[in-house]
Every structure is written in structure tokens, then in C-alpha cells.
Structure 1
Amino acid sequence: MPGHSAKASDLLAGVAEGDRRSFELLYRQYAPWLVARLRQRCADQAQIDDIVQETFVALWSSCQVRGQSNIRDVAGWLWRVASRRLVDAARSGGARSRLMQVLRQRHVRSSVVSAEDQVLAAGGFGSVDDAMARLPAELRDVVQATVLDGLSTRQAAERLQIPTGTVKTRAMRAKARLRDHVEQARRQDG
């Protein structure tokens, strides 16, 4: 529990009147304690800093709108607000992860050519390049994801938005077609 160098109720009354100095004193008195409590539940210091800032903004707003009378226990009030913000941040982190996954799945090829494509285009793997070009797009996408990008079956399934079993089946079909094409090219060359 934070130390009480100035009486919290007096500081809250000052904040309700718009006194920035009272707000600053409340912040100095309670912020280190709030940070320490949040650190027990969150390892992301930037997120903790954001939550502390949002919590004190909420305190200022609450005092301006409702007055300080609704806050009897400053530490308890701050903790309730901060813990809710922490839960919200965790939820939005999940939403952020899902958004990033969707964006990766909708990956649009840029004008930058990948290292693998540069090697294939250089002609060092002519028959493989020809074989890849002849693969249907759905098989080529699986080879790109699993072989060239090095993704696991599960990761490739997520990126391509298809079941893992479909990734495995398409990978087997792609390998068979590539093998047949490369062998046919060798026979023609030899």
C-alpha cells in the first residue's frame, strides 16, 4: 500500500477542482505501487506504463465528472481500474494476434523478389523452376509455405486457411509432380 505523505481525500478534492499539483502528488504517491502490482501480472513494461497512464487519466476524468466523493479508497479504485485495463490489454493482444494472422494469410506479393525466387530465376535449377511453374496454384502455395518459407504443416494451414490434412495431401501431390517433371527433364537432357 502506498505511503500517505499527503491525505488522499484532500488530494482528490484538489483534483476534482482541476488542481494539477494535487494530481501530480497523487501520481507520485500511488504510481510506483501500481507499477509494482502490475509487474506481478505482466512482463511487458511498455504495456504496464500504458496501463498506469490510462488509469491515472481515468482518475482525473472521474474526479472532473463525478467529483472525488465516489472514490473513498484511492488504492483500491486505482487497482480495480488498472486490473480491468490489464485484462482488456490481454484481450486486445489476442485480437491483435488474430489480426496479424489474417494479414499474413492475405499476404500479397510485393515487388521485392525473395532470395528463393532469385535463385530459381537465375537458372541454376531450371527443371525445378519449370516444374514449379507448371504446378497448380494450390500446390505451388503449399510448396512455397512448407519448403521455401520453412513453415510447419500447422503454420502453413493457418497461412493458407486450409486444414492441415489438406496441406499434407497437397504437399505429397506437389512432390510427386515435381519428381515426375524433374525425372522427365533429365531423360530428355540425357
Structure 2
Amino acid sequence: MDHLQEESDRREAVVFPGVRESLDAVDEEELVRRTAAGDRRAFDELYRRTSPMLAVRLRRRCSDADVVADVLQETYLSVWRAAGSFAGAAAQGSALGWLWTIAANRLVDAFRRRARQEQVPPVPVAETVAPAAEDEVMAGRVGQDLEQALLRLPLEVRQVLRAMVLDGLSARDTAVLLNVPEGTVKSRARRARIALREALS
């Protein structure tokens, strides 16, 4: 086993000179690129930096800790296997955005698997009392009137906005994520549009 670790370290030193010193100054995009080249230390560092943020965002959408843990594991397994595909997606966003897209898709997959198992009840969506960080960021960008309109929206409407606008999910995937009919998702999205339009007019 020690021999294998030594060989891995030797390869890292050849592919990434100086990588043994520190990965602190390396950004997440570079960590993904190094992961794509088989650098296990870069992958470990990427996990250390990004998994807490992903776990928080997943827990806002799912109150089942086991599902969240499984989704995190599947997300980073996908990252290890498909890190090379990030190069093509890099122009469209950050590494953190790319990671969240993978995690959100894995969560939708987990909900679909649960729904197919008749004896297992639907996974409950976590209730939040305070506005989520995404709500605050989105509100901060659009001005005080719209901010007030966003904060007045019911929780279930804000959940639809988060899933469809911030996470880029379709109405169908949002319905799976929130465990509501697709028609309900579309109705809540329509209510949000009307409320926001009135706030801006």
C-alpha cells in the first residue's frame, strides 16, 4: 500500500510540479482540472472546501439526512469520474455552480427513486422560517421594492423560485424536488411572476 502511495505521489510531482507544497492558493476551477488529471490530493481538497456548502444547500431542500448523505456521495463520485467535462462547461460558470448542478440533479434522481418505491413515503421537504441565502442574494440584486415583494411571497412560492430560477430546474424536476404536482409548480411560478410584476410597476 505504501508503495502505491509513493507511486501516486511521484506521478503528482511530475504532472503538477510543486503540488506537494500546498493547495491553499489553488482555486476550485484548478482543483477540478487537476482532479480530471487523476490528482487525488486536489480532489480531497475540492471536497474539503465545497462539501459543507453543498450539504447546507441540500438540507434546505431535503430534511432526510440519509438522502443528503447519499446525494453528496453520488455527487463527488460523479465529480471524480467526470471532472474532465468541466473544461467544456467552464465558460458557462464557476466550479461551484457546476458542482451544485450535479448535486441538484442527483437530489432529483434520489426523489424519483423514492417515489418509485411504493412502500416508502415521499421525502419531506425541509421547512425554513428565515429567508434562505439565495433569497437574500437574489433580493439584493434587484432593489428594495422587489426585495419586499420577494419577502412577502409565501414559503412554497419562494421554494419554486429557488428551484427554477437559481438552480435552473425545469417545472417537472421542481415538482419532483418539492413533491408537488407539476401543475402546482406552474401555478406557484405564475403567482410569483404576477406578484413581482406588480411590485415593479
Which bin holds the TM-score, normalised by the shorter protein?
0.3 to 0.5
TM-score between the two structures when normalised by the length of structure 2: 0.43
Q: Which has the larger radius of gyration?
A: 1
